[in-house]
Structure 1
Amino acid sequence: MSTQRRRLPSIAAYGVLGIVTLPIILMYIWLLLNSFAQKMKYGVIPVEFTLENWRFIWSDVVINGSALPSIWTATFNSLLFAGTLTVLEVVIGIMAGYALSRLNFPGRQGLLKTTMMLHAFPSVALLIAVYYILNFLGLFDSLWGVILVKTALQIPMTAWIIKGFFDDVSWDVEWAGLIDGCNRFKVWYTIVIPLIKPGIAAVSIFSFLSGWSEFLLLYTFILSDENITLAAYLQKLMSNPNMINYGLLSAVSLFYMVPVLLFFVLTQQSLMQISAGGGKRV
């Protein structure tokens, strides 16, 4: 009896979790069925199964008389955008986080206090200013221009997270390396960096997902079809709300999810090892 009582909280927790996630699971099941259905009876029951909705993989899609760009061009651009964003955020974030955690310099306290404030500005509030900057630099309608903008918006949060992991590394580890004859850079690169691998993994994962799901900046500052991404590709499928092919839209949505699912499967081990970084030194 006592054992059953101890299990009641776990059973209740799993029950609530199952109830909350059931609508999401049903939504994904409907998405999968609709992507292979010619039509859905009552909107939920597939009647005729077909591969026609997946034709975007081997041929161009024509919407309202105009052909959409190749899905593989959009996929390559999305991978380029998310991958480059991840590399830039990790490299810059590691260096900035170490400086904020270990170095004393004028303005450090003020910078720490305003770091989160810089991240608080939503992208939509900066669109006009960003447009003028990109246009002045000749980077309007360029993936590289949007990559730089997205990186600048993400760096404050990235540096703050990485700083927490650096704060958890004992100073004794660095002093030992310096006593053994290593310079500051070698201690940072060969001793400290390996100790914060969970933090680097966390930032890398979240940076990639943020870049992969980005829509507003890309939709606003990318006009040409050769620079289109999958998020903008989906928007083109819904450009005319009166003529949406929901079967095709479901198939492209599933295609859009595949890289994220693969990325999660490959990185879930690192996610399980992540612990929250603390920040005592401010």
Structure 2
Amino acid sequence: MRHNFRNWPVLVVLALFSLPLVIMFTFQLIDSFTVKAPGALLPESFTLHHFRFMWERLDTGRAGIWQVTLNTFIFATTTATVVTLVSLTAGYALSRLNLPARGFFLAGLIVLHAFPTVTLIIAIFLILQMLGLYDTLIGVIIVKTALELPFGIWIMKGFYDTVPWEIEMAGVQDGASRFRVWWQLVLPQVQPGMMAILIFSFLSGWSEFVLPLVIAPGSNAQVLATYMQALIQDDTKADFDLFKAVGLFYALPVVVIYLVFQNKLMNIYGGGSKG
């Protein structure tokens, strides 16, 4: 009881800071399903008209909502998969192998991660044009993956560093190959880090806005973030209730991911255990 009482001030402060966000999301949910008179606070009636984007193609200059959603899913899933796979292997190599210029490579990862995306846009634009990947979804995926990799590799290297060498030595002495030792003995020890990289890379890809807007402006490579931007591009006739409904549709997968993986997200730690 005394421990719970000591936590009350912290809970009250957190509740006060969270209250504006709770109010904002509550009004978004209400406004997405109701009709209100201009300037009114309380809704007048229930409606699904704001969700017409699900069965009608809106005049936004973008593809339909389902094509855009598919693009977003492909973009986020491919980015998360490639980042996770490369981070798992590269992190292990940097942690366990005596590579030439290993320290220089690790320092380079930090430098690359420190560069904001916006500062690299012009160089990325020129490179994609030379490769013929400008205004394509695959071009955006390659760029996003490259920008996410330094952080993923560095995080996985830290997880591998906490795995005791004795686990690998025991597997090698029993006659297992280096790959089998990594796959069956080491990889289970860094599973929390793998899940962290996979989930956060997916969420980063799902919420990406700048890269698809700048390097894939055509309608065939647009994602949900740019679809929402097109809804309010002309603010003189913007339908903000429609915008809120699309935002609710956009946020739904993120909410589902949190509900499914909340235990793993709350128990992410770096560490291996002996035995």
What does residue range 97-176 of structure 1 map to in structure 2 within 5 Å? 97-176=91-170
Which of the numbers 151, 173, 190 marks the counterpart of 1:196?
A: 190
Question: 2:46 & 2:107 partners in 1: Cα distance?
Answer: 57
- Helix, strand or coil: the match of 1:21? helix
Question: 2:236 & 2:270 partners in 1: Cα distance?
Answer: 47
- Helix, strand or coil: the match of 2:234? coil
Q: Does structure 2 conserve the Cα–Cα contact (< 8 Å) formed by 1:214 and 1:231? A: yes
Question: 2:200 & 2:130 partners in 1: Cα distance?
Answer: 30
- Helix, strand or coil: the match of 2:36? strand
Which residue does the alignment assign to 1:60? 57
Which residue does the alignment assign to 2:17? 20
Question: 1:115 & 1:40 partners in 2: Cα distance?
Answer: 54
Deviation at 1:273, TM superposition (A): 2.5
Show CA shifts across 1:64-88 (max 9, x none): xxx6421000110000000000000
Which residue does the alignment assign to 1:91? 85
Summarize the Cα distance change of 1:68–1:129 in structure 2 as closer, same or farther, 3 Å threshold: closer
- Helix, strand or coil: the match of 2:45? strand
- Helix, strand or coil: the match of 1:55? helix
- TM-score, structure 2 length as denominator? 0.94
5+ long unaligned stretches in structure 2: none
- Helix, strand or coil: the match of 1:46? coil
Which residue does the alignment assign to 1:233? 227
Question: 1:53 & 1:80 partners in 2: Cα distance?
Answer: 26
Aligned residue pair count: 272
Summarize the Cα distance change of 1:129–1:277 in structure 2 as closer, same or farther, 3 Å threshold: farther
Summarize the Cα distance change of 1:41–1:49 in structure 2 as closer, same or farther, 3 Å threshold: farther
Which of the numbers 230, 245, 252 marks the counterpart of 2:239?
A: 245
Deviation at 1:40, TM superposition (A): 4.6
Name the aligned partner's letter for residue 195 of structure 2.
Answer: A
Q: Does structure 2 conserve the Cα–Cα contact (< 8 Å) formed by 1:161 and 1:277? A: no
- Helix, strand or coil: the match of 1:62? coil
- TM-score, structure 1 length as denominator? 0.92
Q: Does structure 1 conserve the Cα–Cα contact (< 8 Å) formed by 2:72 and 2:223? A: yes
5+ long unaligned stretches in structure 1: none
